[in-house]
Structure 1
């Protein structure tokens, strides 16, 4: 059983674990802020029964916290009596997610690595909640925002940028994940190269050779008194919000943040 669950969690775009989801979902637990924000954007705030300690939307302020993204606590999840759990699969949270499924809680797991993944998750979660029209409208609004960003950037020389999500070790966004896709939409050129990974480690030497015009710090801060990447004398910008850190319905806000960072 454990091996089967592990294989399910490791494969495919959308995965179901545990018993079937109920026909009418009344109490949801989300194991990632992005998934909470999708539920909120669909107008289903009243169905949220528990969220992670990293959820920062004001509408979740009074909800029980069930642990973190990598370390959800099965006991805390069971305590709020959900009839469905939404998860984003990762090696770190596999054990707790499998435990919930073994204990009889339906789990739907959605990868959020690319914009297509995010839009598919919006549609699927809307279907689970019986709100397909809202899901369709939300998905269309995300695509409109991307089209508008691309139209605004058309005809301009792209700004060569490095999107930095970690400094020690240095972790950057590749061009094929959601962050890299949005960077291109916003008028940027990804200096990180052509990695197939959405995020990956980059050596300091490779970062210097990549010669970005701007280093965009994404949820990280440079140590006081020194450059974020030693030896790289590029302009440094920070994102205005956490939208790019939460791949979900805030993609339009993330696009605006990236445009502002590139323009400074």
Structure 2
């Protein structure tokens, strides 16, 4: 299972190869050229004061979600580098990579001469952020935990990147679409019990403090794995005992192995989800990556859980 960006922690992951920074300093690579002279001190979304350039031109994104947000704001042309797994939109995959969000390659980041880095609180190592700032590279951090936070993050990034109008349009659209789903779900007669599977061996689901749980609830379902553990583990017997009416399998690419998992559940004919033919595959990034596409995930799941409300409309 590939970990998602909403793992708990305060920049708790530890980056490797930190010793390379001493070499970088000796070589003088820490001097970032071409940075706009004017800068304004702002407070980022984790409460840190950051001197952000008035019009950042070379931005490095340290998480796939941030890469996607920058593109959504129409500022993808400013990205000098992105973290591994930045794959949406497709153009993001062509940009220089700076390591994973858990293990950023600081030498590579510095070599790209960014005037701003974008980081996520949960996932990016605190030490990496501190090292970058010690080298004179400002780091603006965000911390989206739910759909409202995602909208707030879009608004904040819009200000930082000078894309306020685009941010307002995106946030407005997200709000309207969420309200539309909520209005439809207000009239449903029942809420199916949902088991949302994100891991295969062992079986892993989603607890209360996850994006997927919020989406299940808004889409008119009940998360049978809800609880304080964000990623609880289950045996097959435990899942059977929960008697889910819908099983949703989150997959990066709907690969053969995930289709086999789907077929594996279909063998349990006494399970309500199987009896009703409601074992589904969905794209994982629509449910675990904090971007505006979470609303796409909400709409997808609402149609899967309550097709009667949508009257067959796509």
Match of 1:244 among 261, 268, 287: 287
Question: When the two structures are superposed, what TM-score results if normalisation uses the length of structure 1?
Answer: 0.83
Question: When the two structures are superposed, what TM-score results if normalisation uses the length of structure 2?
Answer: 0.71
Taking the aligned partners of 1:52 and 1:176, their CA distance within structure 2 comes to 24
Change (3 A) 1:229 1:118: farther
Which protein has the larger Cα radius of gyration, Structure 1 or Structure 2?
A: 2
Taking the aligned partners of 1:261 and 1:69, their CA distance within structure 2 comes to 32
1:91-123 residue CA offsets vs partner (Å, 9 max, x unmatched): 563343333223221111212221122111111
How do 1:13-162 and structure 2 match up within 5 A?
14-15=45-46, 20-56=51-87, 57-90=89-122, 93-156=125-188, 157-162=190-195
Query: What is the Cα deviation at residue 9 of structure 1?
Result: 4.5
Match of 1:190 among 210, 223, 239: 223
Q: SS in structure 2 opposite 1:20?
A: strand
Taking the aligned partners of 1:237 and 1:223, their CA distance within structure 2 comes to 9
Asked whether the 8 Å contact 1:27–1:49 carries over to 2, the reply is: yes
Query: What is the Cα deviation at residue 84 of structure 1?
Result: 1.0
The residue aligned with 1:257 is 300
Query: What is the Cα deviation at residue 134 of structure 1?
Result: 2.0
Match of 2:264 among 227, 230, 236: 227
The residue aligned with 1:3 is none
Unaligned runs of 5+ in 1: 1-6
Q: SS in structure 1 opposite 2:128?
A: helix
Q: SS in structure 1 opposite 2:86?
A: coil
Taking the aligned partners of 1:106 and 1:251, their CA distance within structure 2 comes to 28
Aligned CA RMSD, in angstroms, stands at: 3.0
Taking the aligned partners of 1:142 and 1:32, their CA distance within structure 2 comes to 21
Query: What is the Cα deviation at residue 41 of structure 1?
Result: 1.1
Taking the aligned partners of 2:210 and 2:260, their CA distance within structure 1 comes to 30
Asked whether the 8 Å contact 2:212–2:287 carries over to 1, the reply is: yes
The residue aligned with 2:201 is 168
Change (3 A) 1:103 1:170: farther
- 2:256 counterpart of 1:213: no
Query: What is the Cα deviation at residue 178 of structure 1?
Result: 2.3
Taking the aligned partners of 1:256 and 1:223, their CA distance within structure 2 comes to 22
Change (3 A) 1:155 1:176: farther
Query: What is the Cα deviation at residue 208 of structure 1?
Result: 3.7
